[in-house]
Amino acid sequence: MAELQARSISAWFGSHQVLDRVSLTMPAGQVTALIGPSGCGKSTFLRILNRMHELVPSAAMAGEVMLEGHDIYEASRRVTEARRDIGMVFQKPNPFPAMSIRENVLAGLRLTGVKASKATKDDLVEESLIKAGLWREVKDRLSAPGGGLSGGQQQRLCIARSLAVRPRVLLMDEPCSALDPTSTRVIEDTMAELMHEVTIVIVTHNMQQAARVSQRCAFFLAEQGAPGVIVEHGETGSMFTAPRDERTAAYVAGRFG
């Protein structure tokens, strides 16, 4: 796990600015939740943290993203290296449906060019699925297609796939929004286990979830057509019980957004 620090991040899609000089430290071994209404730049910010923003043709950004003091946007740093260190789990579970459960877990190794023996891969599959809370349910059918799992299991398979390349940070973009309450609880329990070995940053619209899973919180807001900024950030407990800004108080109380 590693500390991730965003410094003065601004972002654009064409001429439309979506973030304005956002700075945030995401401490190692903790869950940081990004909260705020739709359209305030949370998901864009998350994608900037592992260089996925630049995949959009019209996208541009300014600022620095420091992983343990090294800027992931340095010219000498390969994109694949940044994405191996900083994994991503998306809103909609996206396993490779035709690949087996085992092949899904190992897919990241192929993408990053990691070579490993069969025994090493077998160990890695088991270890990653255990960490993702899925091993007991699938250990007897690793050759079954990943697309045949339930939605909650598919999301945990995607978490296992991200963990297999041993990232230092795991980004999660509303990982439970497509899931039922039981699956959501399992994913939240998985996050609680994982934070002891990987730094987690989660975008969530669910205030109860943010309160349950995170130690730190950052409240994003884009007012009247202005680009998104962080209104307030700090320990989750104090943000929910004694926010310093009245806009934060209104949002966490459900009065808007």
Contact 158, 96 (CB under 8 A): no
Q: What is the pLDDT of residue 256?
A: 79
* pTM reported for the whole predicted model: 0.94
CATH of the domain at 31: 3.40.50.300
| Helical residues (DSSP H) of 164-206, grouped into ranges | 181-194
Judge whether 69 lies within some domain. yes
- In the chain, which residues have pLDDT < 70? 257
One DSSP character per residue, 15-51 reads: TEEEEEEEEEEE-TTSEEEEE--TTSSHHHHHHHTTT
Judge whether 235 lies within some domain. yes
Give the range of the structural domain holding residue 71, as residue numbers without chain letter.
Answer: 4-93+171-252
Judge whether 99 lies within some domain. no
Contact 188, 209 (CB under 8 A): yes
- Any idea what DSSP says for residue 244? S
Q: What is the pLDDT of residue 35?
A: 97
Q: What is the pLDDT of residue 109?
A: 82
> How many distinct structural domains can be found in the chain?
1
Judge whether 133 lies within some domain. no
